[in-house]
């Protein structure tokens, strides 16, 4: 995340929080981030400085007016005017980070060898919430290389409780003793 995207994302969050719109605008920012990731050509079009500012603003208005909150539309126009549309994903990340911090939300990613059942997922979320005192937003990833156990990443830390990791620790202990 660049300083510019951090500054802009935090600025939009401050406005949204003041107006008690932070949750609604978070959903819109995340939807836009997914859309822009799926259609990068649209961002390139809005970043094309050979188009006039009015043309780029017209594209934004025609595409998003009535679909997103005016604050988000104006935010896009500011990014467009400053030639910073490619920073949108970073802005959305900065916005989400502040939202999560103020609402005591912790994002966690779990990697398992096969898809978790709903019961396993619920128990893991409950355990993490008790450990952290925060609401957990869990994303899941399946990796066939994970044979038993889980790999958990949250709060910038990695917790490896996979069979492979445990076997590696045993191997290291045996080498150390030899």
Q: DSSP of 11-33, one letter per residue?
A: HHHHHHHHTT-HHHHHHHHHHHH
Rounded mean pLDDT, 45-66: 95
Helices in 65-152 by DSSP H: which ranges?
70-81, 88-102, 118-132
> CB under 8 Å to 137, separation ≥6 — which residues?
100, 105, 106, 107, 108
Q: Is the pLDDT of residue 157 over 70?
A: yes
Instruction: For residue range 112-153, list pLDDT tens digits in order.
Output: 999 999 999 999 999 999 999 999 999 999 998 888 889 999
């Amino acid at each position: 995340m660049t300083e510019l995207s951090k500054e802009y994302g935090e600025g939009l969050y401050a406005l949204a929080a003041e107006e008690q719109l932070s949750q609604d605008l978070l959903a819109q920012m995340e939807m836009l981030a997914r859309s822009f990731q799926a259609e990068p050509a649209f961002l390139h079009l809005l970043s094309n400085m050979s188009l006039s500012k009015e043309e780029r603003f017209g594209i934004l208005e025609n595409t998003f007016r009535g679909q997103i909150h005016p604050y988000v539309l104006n935010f896009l126009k500011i990014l467009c005017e400053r030639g910073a549309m490619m920073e949108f994903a970073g802005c959305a990340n900065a916005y989400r980070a502040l939202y999560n911090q103020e609402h005591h939300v912790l994002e966690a990613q779990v990697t398992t060898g096969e898809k978790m059942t709903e019961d396993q997922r619920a128990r893991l979320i409950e355990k993490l919430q008790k450990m952290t005192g925060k609401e957990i937003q869990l994303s899941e990833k399946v990796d066939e290389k994970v044979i038993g156990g889980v790999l958990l990443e949250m709060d910038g830390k990695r917790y490896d409780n996979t069979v492979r990791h445990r076997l590696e620790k045993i191997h290291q202990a045996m080498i150390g003793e030899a």
